[in-house]
Amino acid sequence: MKPNTVLSFLTIVTATLFSPVASEPSLLLEKRAVWAPAVLYPHSGTVWNIGDQHSVVWDTSTAPSYISNPTGTIMLQRDSTAVNITLASGFSILDGRTEVNVPSVLPGATYYIVLVGTSGNRSPDFTIDDA
Ligand SMILES: *[C@@H]1O[C@H](CO)[C@@H](O)[C@H](O)[C@H]1NC(C)=O
């Protein structure tokens, strides 16, 4: 190789090493940090009665291989109100489901679940009725 050829070869190698493709691992880490599993149950049309026990179910099929904080919390909230009740905590976000008891709240059709782990995600609105 002539010196000029060697130089342009090195330029290409260097450009490849520091191109956006080479920095993909940090993009993956960012993706992992905001993993928000979709809540599968309760869903739109679900009706829970006060005092009943139900499993909250979420999708773990998209889970990254590494999660910095896999501990989950399940909050019950209601649109346009200050309702924010912890239904479960201390479970692994990789479990995919956890049992909760339906607390004594005002009946209504605008309740939703927020699953907080590495990130947070909310279910569609569902109904809580009197038993
Ligand atoms: C609900 O309560 C949790 C834990 O007490 C808190 O971290 C969160 O910010 C609250 N969310 C809202 C919307 O008030």
- The domain ranges of the chain are 1-31, 39-129
Q: Are 52 and 63 in contact (CB under 8 A)?
A: no
Distance in Å, CA 114 to ligand 1 centroid? 10
Kindly report, residue by residue over 65-81, the tens digit of the pLDDT. Answer: 888 888 999 999 999 99
| Domain at 39-129: CATH code | 2.60.40.10
Measured CA to CA in angstroms, residue 2 lies from 6, 7, 17, 96, 114 at distances of 6, 9, 23, 61, 64
Ligand 1 centre from 64 Cα, in Å? 25
Using most ligand atoms within 8 A of CB, pick from 75, 76, 80, 122 the residue to mutate for ligand 1.
75
For ligand 1, atom 6: residue with the closest CA? 84
pLDDT band of 3, cuts 50, 70, 90: low
Q: Write down the pLDDT at residue 66.
A: 85
Per-residue model confidence as pLDDT tens digits over 14-39: 444 454 444 445 555 554 456 889 99
CA distances from 33 to 29, 40, 121 (A): 6, 21, 13
